[in-house]
Amino acid sequence: MFVFFFFFYRIVIAATVDLVVVVAAENVVTIDTSRSVLQARRVVVALSPSLVLDIAFDPPLPVGRQCLGQHAVMGCAIKVFCVYRKAFWHEHRSGSKRPHLAPGVIPGPVLNIFEMEINQQPALLGLIVGDFAREMSQLPKETLACLVMHQYASLFDHVGQADAIPDHVVIRRWTQPTLTKPTDDFSHAPLASAFVTQFAKLPPPPNALSVTDIVVDALDSFYSRGCYANVFPPKVLTSVGSSLMQPVGRVHWAGTETSTEWNGHFEGGASAGKRAAIEVLHALDSSTAETMAGAAQARSKL
C-alpha cells in the first residue's frame, strides 16, 4: 500500500509498505517499504480495512481486526460532470416548484446531484453508485453521457431544450466488478438493467457533445479497488466493529471508515486523522494507564 511518512518535515511518497514489525521490548515499530526501512515509536495506518490485509504485521493483527478486512467490500462509483452554458435548472426553483419524484421511482442512474462550477461555467455532478455503477460501467461513454443528460433534462422539465444539452461531459469511473461480492436482497441490479433497456432507444447525443471518459488505471485500481469506502455486511460491525478504532499496541488506525461522523466522506477521513493524532500524542506523553484513558476520552469527543 502507498503510505505517506512524515518525519523531520519530510514526506516520502510512492513507497509501498510490505511489512510492519512491532518490537515491544525496544518500543520501536519497523516499517519495511519498497524504498527503505523506517523506524518509529508509533504508526498510524490510514487505509480501508480490506486494504490493510495486503500488509504483513508481526505479530499478526488480532482476529477482530482481520475479520473486518476479510468481510469488508469496497464500493463502486461513477462521477458524471455535465458542464453547461447556463444553469437551466434554476428556472425550476421558483417558489415551491422543485423536481418531483414519485415514491420509489428513480428516473435514471444518478442517485445524487450536486450543483457546482467548472472553469466558471455552471455544472451538475451526478453520482452513480453500487449496482448502477457496475451496470453503467459496461456502456460506451457516449451512451452513458446521453443517459445522464436526459435524466437531468427530465428532472427539470427541459426535455428537448437546447440549454439542457451540456457543452462537455466528464466521466470518472471507479468500478471493479470482479472484485465485489454478490449483492443481497436490497440490490438495485434489476432496476439498473431496466434503465439500460429503457434508455437504449434514446436519441443519440448531439454531434457537438464532447465526452471525456477517465477510467481509473490499473495501478490506481489496485491501490483503491473501488470507491468511496469499505462497506460491511450485516452483523460485522455489531460483532467486531470495536476493532475499527482500537489501537493494536503501537499501531493506530485512521481512514474515513473509522470515523463516527461523515463515514465514507473526506470530512470523515479528516476527523479520523485528528482522532488518531490525539491518540498518538497521548501515547507519546506517557505509557501509564492515564494516557490510555486520555486517548479513549479523545475518541469519545469526536
Domains of the chain, by residue range, sit at 2-72+233-300, 76-224
Task: Tell whether the model's pLDDT for residue 90 goes beyond 90.
Answer: no
Predicted local confidence at residue 203, as pLDDT: 54
pLDDT tens per residue across span 111-161: 888 999 988 899 999 999 888 888 888 888 888 888 888 888 888 877 778
Question: How many other C-beta atoms lie within 10 A of the C-beta of residue 20?
Answer: 22
Count the residues in the chain. 302
CATH number of 76-224: 3.90.660
What pLDDT, on a 0 to 100 scale, did the predictor assign at position 277? 94
Q: Which residue has the cell 435548472?
A: 89
Cell reading at 123: 455544472
Instruction: Label residue 298 exposed, middle or buried (CB < 10 Å: 0-12, 13-18, 19+).
Output: middle
Predicted model pTM: 0.73
Q: Which amino acid is at 66?
A: Q
Contact 3, 40 (CB under 8 A): no
What whole-number percentage of the chain has pLDDT above 70? 72
Q: How far apart are CA 101 and CA 106, in angstroms?
A: 7
Q: How far apart are CA 302 and CA 297, in angstroms?
A: 9
Q: Tell me the pLDDT band of 94, cut-offs 50, 70 and 90.
A: very low
Whether the CB-CB separation of 166 and 209 falls below 8 Å is answered with yes
Q: How confident is the model at residue 69 (pLDDT cuts 50, 70, 90)?
A: very high
Q: What is the DSSP string of 54-111?
A: TSEEESPPPHHHHHHHHH-EE--EEEEEEE-SS-GGGGG-STT------TT---SS--
Identify the CATH assignment for 2-72+233-300 out of 3.50.50.60, 3.40.50.2300, 3.40.640.10, 3.40.50.300.
Answer: 3.50.50.60
CA 301 to chain centre: 24
Q: In this predicted structure, what is the pLDDT of residue 75?
A: 85
Angle between helices 289-300 and 266-285 (to 10 degrees): 160
What would the pLDDT profile of 211-242 be if each residue is shown by its tens digit? 776 665 555 667 778 888 898 999 999 999 99
Range of lowest pLDDT (1-10, 177-186, 187-196, 227-236): 177-186
Strands 121-129, 56-58: pairing kind: unpaired
60 grid coordinates = 499478526
